[in-house]
Amino acid sequence: MRGSISGMALQGSHLVSLKINDLNLGQPVVDLKSLRVRFLQHKTKMKLMVTAVGYGNAEAIAGRSAGSVGLISNGDLAYITCQSAQWQSTCAVLTSQCTNQAEKESGLVRAESGNGKLDKFDQDATFKETFKDLVTLPKPLSISDLSKPPTHGFRLKVAYQGVPGAYSELAAAKAYPDCEAVPCEQFEAAFQAVELWLSDRAVLPIENSLGGSIHRNYDLLLRHRLHIVGEVQIAVHHCLLGLPGVKKEHLRRVISHPQALAQCEYTLSKMGVAREAVDDTAGAAQFIAANGLYDTGAIASHRAAEIYGLDILADGIQDDSGNVTRFLMLAREPIIPRTDRRFKTSIVFALEEEPGALFKALSAFALRNINLTKIESRPQKNRPLRVVDDTNHGIAKYFEYLFYIDFEASMADPRAQNALGQLQEFAGFLRVLGSYPMDMTPIAPALQNIS
Ligand SMILES: O=C(O)C(=O)C[C@]1(C(=O)O)C=C[C@@H](O)C=C1
């Protein structure tokens, strides 16, 4: 028997419905509800793998049928031949139409009829109806679904600032190895992506061993309501990148993230080039490649060179080989602090102006033998200046500060609870930003290959 197969793509690259018509009868003989089509990216080609499982008219099909096609370019028609004892058929999938919903709805799949001609399937009202049913019907849970861990098939979405090839993307991959990294234009967008449930986590830089603190993220930690749930540190190994064929001597300008420019201060001074700050290191590489800038270099990672097709003109140009950036992992919910492993806690507080106020505040930790790992002060933006009219001496102007402190103890540890109890007596404002496991892994160079 020869019939036609037609399918419809949904959700990126998954073909979710497939219908087989018996051409002799002109009727559907089988409905394949379980069908997986995977597009495997292979360089510029795509490989299409198809596995179909059929139900329905036992005379027409029983069990499993599988078809596959070789390498095809995006946009090609891929012909899938499925065979079983009862029938042989072919369906054509226009692969580029498997990429967006609007296109999908405009006639995704064409069926090859017995005489070899392609029929546009969206003309088939019956098919549309069938498709609608298949998509809207919830898939019943099976016993095997229930025995899987709840996260099965779920890829954590992790927001980071920058474009692919940024160090933050590498940090996201170290923090959450199987995650789907979600690029964001600004730090603020990464915070919002988590708050609005577009991402599950954010991974953002907070300090670098050469360049110091990333102040913007300190300010955003306070402005947003996310919780610090972890930290991750990566060795940042900078390269000088340029268009293929360009020599270091040809460069008149170097662009990169301000932190990266600061971390390569010595090299850049020696080169005597102009420096320009851009949003992220990989974005600098992308900009050069996109605009064909022969006189401009970028400071970025090996991975950025690979992605944007640039040459590495100099390798390891950071001022110190031990160049480490610490990133924070942020989530909507805090984690439950524990004492069976080393934890850090991050807090922010404000103090009333008086002699020794900070000394007293910090003594709460010193008295309990709690190690402070970081202290940062930032202007209190809603109240940056306090003016005191001292009638004898004039008007005194005080800047108001917020203090951010990381200390080495878990909030489950009574020492930390008591220290914060004491601090609260002095602090006009106190917030715990998170209590999270310390990154105890060796500081390996950032992974170069991430999926
Ligand atoms: O631009 C990037 O690639 C980033 O991930 C940002 C950033 C930063 O803000 O510190 C991260 C690590 C390096 O220290 C340089 C830049």
DSSP secondary structure letter of residue 21: E
Give me the residues of the chain with pLDDT under 50, please.
Answer: 1-36, 39-124, 126-127, 130-131, 133-134, 448-449
The CATH code for residues 239-322 is 3.40.190.10
Rounded CA gap, 321 and 238, in Å? 10
User: Which two tokens mark 342?
Assistant: 């080393």
* Alpha-carbon span 68 to 40, nearest angstrom: 12
CA distance 7 to 124: 12
Question: pLDDT per residue over 352-374, tens digit each?
Answer: 888 899 999 999 999 999 999 99
Task: Specify the residue with its C-alpha closest to ligand 1, atom 3.
Answer: 166
* Residues framing ligand 1 (Cβ under 6 A): 162, 166-168, 205, 208, 214, 236, 257, 259-260, 280-282, 325
Q: What is the pLDDT of residue 90?
A: 40
pLDDT tens by residue, 311-329: 999 999 999 988 999 999 9
According to the model, what pLDDT value does residue 154 have? 78
Q: Are strands 27-42 and 394-399 parallel, antiparallel or unpaired?
A: unpaired
State residue 254 phi and psi, 5-degree precision. -125, 130
Residue 140 half-sphere exposure, CB side, CA atoms within 13 Å?
A: 3
Q: What is the pLDDT, as a whole number, of residue 353? A: 81
The C-alpha angle with vertex 151 and arms to 193 and 446, in degrees rounded to 5, equals: 60
CATH superfamily of 175-234+323-451: ACT domain (3.30.70.260)
The reported pLDDT for the residue numbered 129 is 52
Question: Cα separation of 121 and 124, whole Å?
Answer: 5
175-234+323-451 and 239-322: same fold? no
- Pocket test of ligand 1: the residue of 216, 219, 259, 450 to mutate, having most ligand atoms within 8 Å of its CB, is 259
pLDDT of residue 81: 44
Q: Which of 184, 187, 203, 208 to mutate to test the pocket of ligand 1 (most atoms within 8 A of CB)?
A: 208
CA of residue 336 to ligand 1 center, whole Å: 29
Report which of 219, 297, 214, 213 is spatially closest to residue 253, judged by C-alpha positions: 297
Q: Residues 287, 278: contact at Cβ < 8 Å? A: yes
Q: Of all atoms in ligand 1, which is nearest to the CA of residue 323? A: 14
Question: Are the C-beta atoms of residues 280 and 186 closer than 8 Å to each other?
Answer: no
Atom of ligand 1 minimally distant from the CA of 170? 5
Whether the CB-CB separation of 95 and 46 falls below 8 Å is answered with yes
Q: What is the pLDDT of residue 221?
A: 97
pLDDT computed for residue 148 by the predictor:
56
Whole-model pTM: value is 0.66
Distance 169 CA to ligand 1 centre (A): 9
Atom 9 of ligand 1, residue of closest alpha carbon: 205
Question: 186 burial class (0-12, 13-18, 19+ CB within 10 angstroms)?
Answer: middle
Distance CA(58)–CA(85), nearest Å, equals: 11
Q: List the chain domain ranges.
A: 3-140, 175-234+323-451, 239-322
